[in-house]
Amino acid sequence: MIKLGFIAENDISKLACDCRFAAENGYSGLEFNFWGNAKDLTLDTVKGMKAILDTYSIECSSLGLWGWNHTSTDHDERTAALAQLDKFIDFAEALDTKLFMTGGGQIEGGYDANLAAFGQVFPGRIAKLEEAGIPLAMYAVHGASFLDSMEAYEKLWAVYPTVGMKIDPANLRGVGIEYLPFFRDHAKMMYEVHIKEAIEMDGNPWASQPAAGMGDIAWGKIFAFLYESDWEKYMVVEPHGQLWGVGERRWKMLKLTQRHISQFII
């Protein structure tokens, strides 16, 4: 069955509130994402997060590490990025996360050059995650990654067929990429689908980012392709922006999105 989650607050003092809301409003999991603040996260904090999740019987749907260029040609940058990557793989195990997500790295050159750089750092780490039973997904057009098109993913899958995709249709649409072909052709390789809405006005693809069903994303068509592929994984809501991502409107957005998306889930 398809499960619903949403992106949680990283502040552990607010996690119990998110867990309680999730348990009371039809959400099974919470996603955690870290950028530059990844360097400040400790194993003790991660264990504390896991204890709170367990108290409310909420899963860690996914853990994301973003903005660290794991294949950088700059020695110091790459060393720092790989240190965070290795640390977060350990954190993924501690959280018993259902998915670990990060960027594929990015260097100058085409897809083949980037794929070769990927092969220098990821195979052993992929194996470690697989041994722990944790799938790895790369985010499309996001977070220091060369994976910016269907062609790029197809080249990746030809060599690393177990590495999946984390996809956000609104992000693809925002940079001018048609998102429905991804769902039609490669839904089985989508290890997580992000739910983020968008309204385009006056040439701005992000004029508003309200609850799902209030904007331009074709959620019904997305679900059609997911069901045709017998897809059963997490869809994770991202309360985004200053209008719908904070304060009381964040809770309204999560309730309204759950209500709209649930009509497609059986």
Q: What is the mean pLDDT of residues 63-88?
A: 98
Beta strands in 59-151 (DSSP E): 59-65, 100-102, 136-139
Domain ranges of the chain: 3-262
Query: For residue 259, what are the CA distances in angstroms to 96, 226, 253, 256?
Result: 28, 19, 10, 5
pTM score, whole prediction: 0.96
Q: Quote the pLDDT of residue 188.
A: 97
Share of the chain above pLDDT 70, in %: 100
Q: Quote the pLDDT of residue 194.
A: 97
Three-state DSSP class for 22?
helix
Confidence of residue 186 (pLDDT cuts 50, 70, 90): very high
Torsion sign over Cα 70, 73, 141, 190: negative
- The predicted-structure confidence for 204-223, as pLDDT tens digits, reads as follows 999 999 999 999 999 999 99
Q: Quote the pLDDT of residue 141.
A: 85
- The predicted-structure confidence for 20-70, as pLDDT tens digits, reads as follows 999 999 999 999 999 999 999 999 999 999 999 999 999 999 999 999 999
- The predicted-structure confidence for 145-174, as pLDDT tens digits, reads as follows 999 999 999 999 999 999 999 999 999 999
Q: Quote the pLDDT of residue 18.
A: 98
- The predicted-structure confidence for 94-147, as pLDDT tens digits, reads as follows 999 999 999 999 999 999 999 999 999 999 999 999 999 999 999 988 778 999
Residue pair 226/200 in contact by the 8 Å Cβ criterion: no
Long-range residue pairs from 170-176, CB within 8 A, at least 24 positions apart, any chain: 170/194, 170/196, 170/197, 170/198, 170/209, 170/217, 171/140, 171/141, 171/142, 171/196, 172/140, 172/141, 173/198, 173/205, 173/216, 173/217, 174/198, 174/205, 174/206, 175/141
CATH number assigned to the domain covering 3-262: 3.20.20.150
